[in-house]
């Protein structure tokens, strides 16, 4: 609801973020109008002051009537009503009151740039035979999971998914998770019977999570082969799997409000994953293929801090860099007092999210306009709004205005309904935050989120006019689109296009490169499709990059990430399935509880840094497992060091080194580095042999493709030669070798690792 009260000098000194400040004003308006929103709880995250003890702060805020939901590092997420918000904010030990923002999947970018690139079908980095991720937990925060897919079962048909926690699904039939010693929101499913019961647990919200999980940790399934004829499988096919999601259902959104519900769910996911690893006493590798642009992109946002705290708990986090590397999404500009900045959002059918930040203590004015692409001119401009009114409102332009709307908001609703039929979510308020050095930062934030699937005539674009009262800077990003260049409007740039959640410097960030452009869709034809929009071996032009405003260079590394061939969610609708590029389809029985007929399971192609991220996460799980053999525990900093010392560089990376990070991830070189073999054994090849595959079977090392008589040397991890022999009948005897890990040099062809 649009607010009209002014921000007093006293309120300007409070420690509320702009979004929470906007909520507080909406709450006060609800009280005045006796709206049901006045009695509703909301969710906020308290960032604690250095040295503050979480238990002490929890005791103080609970004494005021707040409910502590979860604590992770210096962040405490609480439920409260608006009447005690300011008292909680003033509690000893509380620094800032803020909210985590909603991330979005980075599967693709709806722009032509993401049409084509690569498939991961055995032509990318080879998986070492020695390590499978066993003893390591791979976690995902995502949605669109097919829990029943055979790609997530072992060779005996046993489910590899150990636990599923859905904090935002408060009506599901699962048990309660216990977090911080108390029952948490949502539902927990931690037995195969529960997870495979589709009446209790089914996710038909797309296929993103299924695809990403299959890449990171999928099992090989007979009958599902890639374009090279080799079985499709994930990077760490024996890792344990745990899954969670920040998706919220209607009941939770009605209980807390849309943004507040997402903030709570996101906070709970990080804590649950971290706690699970500690209880199981196993290392955790998080693969997170979601990101967002709500923040200064300097590691200071609540969401970025949640990532930082998760990593500081001893967990490894692999996060996508994002998919706006080809978009003009960012504007950074100095503005004089009274000067107007005009931005035109290149909105798509997916809508757009615009986030703008002004480091100023004085008000900033905003007007919302409409640009007619046929007339090439602006055809509407709203009345001026000001951050001094610290408002937030949500309107559905497809419906009639609500009766309790203010006159100004009703007029805006009526005016914009002439051009758009989607939804509009706006926040404009001042508040407090921190800069990268930990100093207080007063700033104004402007958020405009649209869902434009029903745009009338698909010919209009949103524009925003900003006018600050004093000279200041503006930092602005658009999600899913960019800022258009037109006369009188400021064009954006992609040079700082990484997602805000990637900017703490803690997590490992991932970009995408092109390994192949071959795609097949068996739903329409078995003919292999090709597209030459991308150059093989080079960066995918959607892959985000840049040096963030805290000085971190992103990404850390790149992996194959376009048209990756992996499992598809078989639980989505028929229409959704038709939209997928399907490579394989098999019919299976006995996959889930109550199944009375064969079910069709599929594999298919998708693209994005979403796909590159689980590739890296699965490989990192192999490194973590290898480190355990050396008695090491790897950290995020260790993973970055391995990447720096083992990634490949070539002509492709040389053309855009700032977009590749260290280069193209190489699982095998990384393993050798972890095991201290990269320089410890003179003559040991740093690559595996081409066209030769290995497996250990019945006391022999099978070397398919190796000629008889090829010399074979076995080395221990200390570099000692323990056996010298030759290939006979395609294999080498392992009799007499003790249990352990060995480096095996195959003539001059290359080397591999075996684990007995």
Q: Which helix (H) or strand (E) holds 333?
A: strand 330-335
Whole-number pLDDT of residue 231? 81
CA distance 37 to 29: 9
Residue 439 is predicted with a pLDDT of: 95
Task: Return the pLDDT at 128.
Answer: 60
Domain assignment present for residue 97? The answer is no
DSSP secondary structure of 215-283: HHHPPP-TT-B-TTSSBP--S-TTSEEEEE-----HHHHHHH-HHHHHHHHHHHHHHHHHHHHHHHT--
Does 586 share its domain with 448? no
The residues near 114 (Cβ < 8 Å, ≥ 6 apart) are 108, 323, 540, 542, 562, 607, 608
Let me know whether 116 and 230 are in one domain. Answer: yes
DSSP state of 412: H
Of the three residues 455, 478, 493, the one that is the final residue of a domain is: 493
Question: Could you tell me if residue 271 is inside a domain?
Answer: yes
Report the C-alpha gap between 615 and 127 in whole angstroms. 11
Residue 231 falls inside a structural domain: yes
User: How many separate domains does the chain show?
Assistant: 3
The domain that contains 689 carries what CATH number? Answer: 2.60.40.3080
Long-range contacts of 362-365 (CB under 8 A, 24+ apart): 362/468, 362/469, 362/470, 362/472, 363/7, 363/387, 363/388, 363/430, 363/444, 363/468, 363/469, 364/428, 364/444, 364/446, 364/466, 364/467, 364/468, 364/469, 364/472, 365/465, 365/466, 365/467, 365/468, 365/469
CATH number at residue 428: 2.60.120
Q: What is the pTM of this model?
A: 0.92
Residue 95 covered by a domain? no
55-74 burial, b at 16+ Cβ within 10 Å, e below that, comes to eebbebbeeeebebbbbbbb
Q: ω before 457 within 30° of 0 (cis)?
A: no
Residue 90 domain flag: no
Q: Do 217 and 133 form a contact (C-beta atoms < 8 A)? A: yes
Angle in degrees, 0-180, between the axes of helices 258-280 and 302-312, rounded to the nearest 10: 10
pLDDT value of residue 629: 83
pLDDT value, residue 129? 65
Tell whether 62 is covered by a domain: no
Residue at which a domain ends, from 443, 462, 493: 493
Q: Are 309 and 267 in contact (CB under 8 A)?
A: no
Q: Does residue 384 fall inside a structural domain?
A: yes
Residue range(s) defining the domain that contains residue 699: 682-755
Q: What is the pLDDT of residue 111?
A: 25
Task: Please tell me the predicted confidence (pLDDT) of residue 115.
Answer: 21
On whether residue 9 sits in a domain, the answer given is no
Q: Give the residues of the chain that fall short of pLDDT 70.
A: 1-13, 105-129, 348-349, 452-458, 530-533
CATH of the domain at 191: 3.40.50.200
């Amino acid at each position: 609801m649009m607010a009209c009260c002014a921000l007093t000098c006293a309120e300007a000194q409070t420690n509320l973020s702009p979004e929470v400040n906007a909520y507080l004003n909406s709450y006060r308006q609800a009280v005045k109008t006796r709206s049901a929103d006045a009695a509703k709880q909301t969710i906020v995250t308290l960032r604690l002051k250095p040295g503050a003890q979480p238990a002490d702060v929890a005791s103080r805020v609970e004494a005021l009537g707040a409910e502590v939901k979860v604590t992770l590092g210096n962040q405490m997420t609480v439920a409260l009503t608006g009447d005690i918000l300011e008292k909680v904010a003033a509690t000893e030990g509380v620094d800032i009151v803020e909210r985590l923002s909603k991330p979005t999947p980075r599967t693709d970018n709806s722009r032509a740039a993401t049409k084509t690139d690569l498939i991961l079908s055995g032509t990318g980095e080879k998986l070492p035979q020695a390590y499978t991720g066993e003893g390591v937990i791979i976690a995902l925060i995502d949605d669109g999971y097919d829990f029943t897919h055979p790609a997530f079962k072992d060779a005996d048909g046993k489910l590899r998914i150990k636990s599923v926690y859905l904090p935002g699904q408060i009506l599901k039939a699962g048990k309660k998770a216990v977090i911080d010693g108390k029952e948490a929101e949502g539902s927990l499913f931690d037995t195969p019977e529960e997870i495979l019961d589709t009446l209790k647990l089914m996710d038909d919200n797309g296929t993103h999570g299924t695809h990403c999980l299959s890449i990171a940790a999928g099992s090989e399934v007979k009958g599902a082969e890639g374009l090279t004829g080799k079985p499709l499988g994930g990077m760490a096919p024996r890792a344990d799997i745990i899954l969670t999601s920040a998706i919220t259902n209607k009941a939770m959104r009605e209980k807390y409000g849309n943004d507040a519900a997402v903030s709570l769910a996101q906070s709970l996911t990080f804590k649950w994953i971290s706690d699970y690893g500690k209880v199981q006493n196993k290392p955790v590798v998080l693969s997170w293929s979601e990101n967002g642009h709500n923040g200064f992109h300097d590691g200071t946002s609540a969401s970025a801090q949640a990532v930082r705290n998760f990593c500081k708990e001893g967990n490894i986090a692999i996060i996508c860099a994002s998919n706006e590397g080809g978009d003009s999404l960012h504007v950074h500009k100095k503005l004089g007092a009274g000067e107007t900045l005009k931005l035109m959002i290149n909105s798509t059918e997916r809508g757009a999210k615009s986030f703008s930040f002004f480091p100023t203590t004085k008000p900033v004015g905003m007007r919302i306009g409409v640009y007619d692409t046929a007339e090439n001119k602006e055809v509407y401009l709203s009345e001026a709004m000001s951050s001094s009114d610290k408002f937030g409102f949500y309107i559905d332009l497809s419906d009639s205005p609500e009766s309790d709307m203010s006159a100004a908001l009703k007029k805006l609703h009526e005016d914009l309904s002439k051009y758009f039929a989607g939804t509009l979510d706006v926040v404009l308020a001042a508040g407090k935050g921190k800069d990268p050095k930990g100093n207080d930062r007063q700033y104004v934030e402007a958020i405009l989120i649209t869902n434009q699937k029903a745009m009338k005539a698909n010919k209009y674009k949103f524009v925003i006019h900003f006018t600050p009262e004093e000279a200041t800077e503006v930092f602005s990003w658009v999600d899913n689109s960019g800022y258009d260049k037109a006369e009188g409007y400021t064009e954006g740039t992609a040079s700082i296009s990484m997602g805000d959640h990637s900017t703490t410097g803690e997590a490992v960030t991932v970009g995408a490169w092109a390994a192949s452009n071959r795609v097949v869709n068996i739903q329409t034809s078995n003919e292999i499709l090709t597209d030459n929009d991308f150059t093989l071996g080079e960066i995918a032009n959607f892959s985000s990059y840049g040096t963030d405003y805290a000085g971190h260079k992103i990404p850390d590394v790149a992996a194959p990430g376009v048209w990756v061939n992996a499992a598809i969610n078989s639980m989505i609708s028929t229409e959704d399935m038709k939209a997928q590029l399907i490579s394989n389809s098999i019919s299976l029985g006995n996959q889930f509880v109550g199944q009375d007929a064969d079910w069709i399971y599929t594999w298919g192609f998708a693209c994005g840094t979403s796909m590159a991220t689980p590739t890296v996460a699965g490989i990192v799980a192999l490194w973590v497992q290898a480190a355990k053999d050396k008695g090491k525990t790897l950290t995020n900093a260790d993973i970055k060091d391995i990447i720096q010392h083992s990634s490949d560089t070539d002509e492709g990376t040389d053309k855009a080194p700032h977009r590749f990070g260290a280069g193209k991830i190489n699982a095998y070189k990384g393993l050798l580095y972890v095991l201290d073999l990269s320089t410890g054994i003179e003559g040991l090849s740093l690559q595996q042999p081409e066209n030769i595959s290995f497996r250990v079977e019945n006391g022999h090392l099978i070397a398919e493709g190796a000629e008889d008589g090829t010399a074979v040397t076995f080395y221990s991890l200390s570099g000692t030669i323990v056996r010298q022999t030759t290939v006979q009948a395609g294999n080498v005897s392992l009799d007499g070798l003790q249990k352990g890990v060995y480096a095996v040099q195959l003539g001059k062809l290359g080397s591999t690792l075996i684990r007995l």
